[in-house]
Every structure is written in C-alpha cells, then in structure tokens.
A = this chain, B = another copy of it.
Amino acid sequence: MSAAVVLVSGGLDSCVTAALARKAGHDLLFLHVNYGQRTEARERLALADLADWFVIPEADRLVCDARHLAVIGGSSLTDSSIPVSHADLRTTEIPSSYVPFRNANILSIAVSWAEVRKAERIYIGAVYEDSSGYPDCRPAYFEAFNRVIRLGTAAANIRIETPIIHMSKAEIVLSGLALGAPLHLTWSCYQAEDTACGVCDSCALRLRGFARAGVEDPIEYALRRSYE
C-alpha cells in the first residue's frame, strides 16, 4: 500500500478524511497550507494536535506557505476588510469566504510533494452537497484535476481521493465517531481563534451536522446556536 498525502486544515472534515485514509491502509503524509486565512494560528494548533494523535513522524509533516492568496485577496477568509458573512444555509450563492481557486493552489502543492515522496494518493476532505457551494469542491472538478495530474506529472499514477464528498455533515460526524477520530481536537471556525463563534458559515454547517447526527459537538462555542 502506497503512502498518501492528506490535506489537513485542522477542521472536522480533514480529521475524518485522515481517519479514512489510515483505515484504507496508507502511510500518511500530513500537509497543511497557510494561505493567510484569519484563523491560521488556531488551525496550526489543531493540526499539531491531530498530527500527534495520528502519530505522524516529523519528516512526514509539511506546512507550506501560499500567502500569495491573501495578497491576491478577494475573500473574507484572507482579507480583513471583507466581513465574514453570517451563515445563510438556504442561499445558493457563492459565499464571501470563497478563496478564488484556492483548492487548485493547495492540490498542486500536494501533487508536487506526492510525486517526490512517491505517494500515489492525495486525500482531501472536500464536501459538496452539504457545503458552502464553492465551485472548486464539485466532484467533476476533482475528476478534471485528476486528468491534469495524469498528464502533468512524470509519475502519472497519483490520484486525488475525496472520500467524504457525498456525505452530509451529519454523516461525517457519525463516520468520525465510528472511526474513533479525535473530533474534539479539530477547529472549524472561520472567524475566531479562542472560542468558536457559532455563527459563521463553517460553524453553522458544523453545528447543524452534529445536531442532525444527534450528538453534542465536543468543542466550545461563544454562541451555540441551533441549526436544524
């Protein structure tokens, strides 16, 4: 079984994705990308906690810098002059937290590392149906990216895996619990770094997921709103 690069933001989705990659039998390489997101310091703490929990050797952890995405701007996640929108889970518009073409920047780094480390899989915790509606989370997008990898690498045997893409947040929570994944170590809030705000898109999706799973979210919230 080959090694797999796992994209680990430090959030719920990447934690469950890492647990699924391990269950599939891969040696895990943890990659985290700092793209100048507001909550990077808190994400990095979650990442370290997760990497320790999964017992990832230091040589198999990599933190990369893509802060050009913050310089380029265009997103409330990286530009403090754009407010983080409060969740409206009914809208179909792309939210202000969309970072233009972020996932391609992150996946490209992952493929470069996979090619050098001879890893054949890249795991990313993208979610589509029950998500914020980012264009770069669609299944067809990842299929197209796999074609770019086949054509654009010397190895040509590297493939992206999106094991939770069709899951609802409730299913992700239940899957994580079934795998014994350390959900209490994860960080999802887009806005705060001390206590999760409970009102941003990401908190809202997470809280609704736990509520629908019938499980209490183990982390603390400033405002534990109820989303059904």
Task: Please report A residues at the B interface, Cβ cutoff 8 Å.
Answer: 62, 64-69, 71-74, 94, 98-105, 107-109, 111-113, 115-116, 135-136, 138, 140-141, 144-145, 147-149, 151-154, 156
| In the complex, residue of chain B having the shortest beta-carbon distance to the beta carbon of A113 | B72
Name A156's contact: one of B104, B116, B135, B149 (CB within 8 Å).
B135
Other CB < 8 Å A-B pairs besides A66-B68, A135-B152, A136-B151, 16 of them? A62-B71, A65-B68, A72-B113, A74-B115, A100-B112, A100-B115, A100-B116, A101-B108, A104-B111, A104-B112, A104-B148, A105-B112, A108-B108, A138-B151, A144-B148, A148-B148
A65 and B62 contact, Cβ closer than 8 Å, known pairs A136-B152, A147-B144, A147-B147: no
Copies of this protein, total: 2
Report whether B154 and A94 are in contact in the complex, using a CB–CB cutoff of 8 Å.
yes
A101 and B152 contact, Cβ closer than 8 Å, known pairs A68-B65, A68-B109, A112-B69: yes
In the complex, chain B residues whose CB is within 8 Å of the CB of A111: 100-101, 104
Q: What's the Cα separation between A226 and B24 when bound, in Å?
A: 55
Q: What's the Cα separation between A104 and B109 when bound, in Å?
A: 9
Q: What's the Cα separation between A66 and B151 when bound, in Å?
A: 22
Report whether A108 and B112 are in contact in the complex, using a CB–CB cutoff of 8 Å.
no
In the complex, chain B residues whose CB is within 8 Å of the CB of A145: 148, 152
Q: What's the Cα separation between A104 and B98 when bound, in Å?
A: 20
Q: What's the Cα separation between A152 and B107 when bound, in Å?
A: 12
